[in-house]
A and B are shown apart, each in its own frame.
Chain A
Amino acid sequence: MLRLDQATYDAIVAHAKRDHPDEACGIVAGPEGSDAATRHVPMINAAGSPTFYEFDSSELLALYKEMWAKDEEPVVIYHSHTATEAYPSRTDIGLANEPGAHYVLVSTREHGNSDGPVEFRSYRIIDGDVTEEPVEVVEQLTESA
């Protein structure tokens, strides 16, 4: 299961709506081994595309160096689909290289940049196998959660 605090959930949704019709992408980092998604980092989609996303290579290195310095890891890796459902594409599955991460897909196909609900789903992607998991949004992540 993926547990997110409301503010992080809202920030991811807002990012996806803002970048629509291009795909939005980013991560939520957290302390290594904690599975706690505590630090939202929106990334630029270097592909600038409605059908593809890729973190800029220099920003990717800067992001990982920052995480290493803070003993963090990517707890959530998210991106949006802007015309299709919130399910990992074949490309998403082939390029999923963080076996410990929750892969979040947000679909903005229904309301685009406007207010209104989005599809927000989370998956584990390990060795090409996709397993959906529940998403729980809580007011705040607690220490024991």
Chain B
Amino acid sequence: MAIEVRIPTILRTYTNGEKAVDADGATLADLIANLDGSHPGLGDRLLENGELRRFINVYVNDEDVRFEGGLAKELADGDVVVILPAVAGG
């Protein structure tokens, strides 16, 4: 099983500069754990207290996972995951 994960510029220090990496997981939570295993530290940039960080957007097949079950979102082979930090400020 392979799920393509698109990595934003700011987090490519964890992926040796790669724009996209493959990962596995039955759910988004599993996928993030798997990503953190192969790219240590990446998980912490996505999660805070076991939840997705407020200003990190994760999309599965173009849908924002906040409206799709969040970390419990089920994944399938061939899904495309995109991680994008929010563009926001005060």
Q: Do A and B bind each other?
A: yes
Interface residues of A (CB under 8 A from B): 25, 27, 43, 47, 51-55, 57-58, 60-61, 64, 73, 77, 79, 88-92, 95-100
Task: Give A80 Cβ to nearest chain B Cβ, in Å.
Answer: 11
Known contacts A47-B88, A52-B88, A99-B10; can you find 8 more A-B pairs with CB under 8 A?
A54-B86, A60-B84, A60-B87, A61-B64, A77-B87, A95-B85, A95-B86, A97-B87
Task: Give B19 Cβ to nearest chain A Cβ, in Å.
Answer: 9
B62 CB–A CB distance under 8 Å: yes
Query: Which among B66, B84, B88 has the highest number of chain A CB atoms within 10 Å?
Result: B88
- For B57, the closest partner residue in chain A by CB is A57
In the complex, chain B residues whose CB is within 8 Å of the CB of A77: 87
Interface residues of B (CB under 8 A from A): 8-10, 55, 57, 59, 62, 64, 66, 82, 84-90
Does B88 contact A95, Cβ atoms closer than 8 Å?
Answer: yes
In the complex, chain B residues whose CB is within 8 Å of the CB of A100: 9
Contacts A61-B57, A61-B62; is A97 near B90 (CB within 8 Å)?
no
In the complex, chain A residues whose CB is within 8 Å of the CB of B59: 61
In the complex, chain B residues whose CB is within 8 Å of the CB of A95: 55, 85-89
Q: What are 8 A-B contacts with C-beta separation under 8 Å?
A: A54-B86, A57-B57, A60-B57, A61-B57, A89-B90, A91-B88, A97-B10, A98-B10
